[in-house]
Amino acid sequence: MLQFLVNLFFKERKNHRYLVHNGSVVVVPTKDGSKIKRSVQVIDISLGGAAFIYEGSPADLAKSGLIRLSDGEAVKFKTVSDVESSEGSTYRRRGIKFKWKGVLGKEQIFQFISEHGLHTGGREGLRSPG
């Protein structure tokens, strides 16, 4: 029974999360579907998803859309969480899961982690898709 509870609450991540250098940003679309995009600060990233901080309300950004990690193609994502960064703050933390990426999308994520990630932990799971 104890092992069941441990497994339930302390699941190991499928992909290692890498903290990123301060000031690392990505571009996400606004909710209204216009061509307006916002740069947001990334907190951490893995081959499976990312977390970023932005200022505003959840209604300001699309829950599902494209995220541009660098100058290349955009990667599709789905929002899995969106919470206040602290009580009463205008900043929010959004967690996203990357959708199917294909080889080019995986390469962009790998490149972003290589350029911006803080590699103080293990580098398990970080292999070039090529």
- Global pTM reads 0.75
State residue 22's pLDDT score: 87
Tens of pLDDT, residues 66-103: 888 876 677 889 999 999 988 888 899 999 999 876 77
Closest to 71 measured CA to CA, from 106, 113, 41, 112: 112
Length of the chain: 130
Fold of 14-116: Thrombin, subunit H (2.40.10)
3-state secondary structure of 3: helix
How many whole angstroms separate alpha carbon 4 and alpha carbon 10? 10
**Domain spans of the chain?**
14-116
How many whole angstroms separate alpha carbon 126 and alpha carbon 113? 8
Cβ pair 28, 61 in contact under 8 A = yes
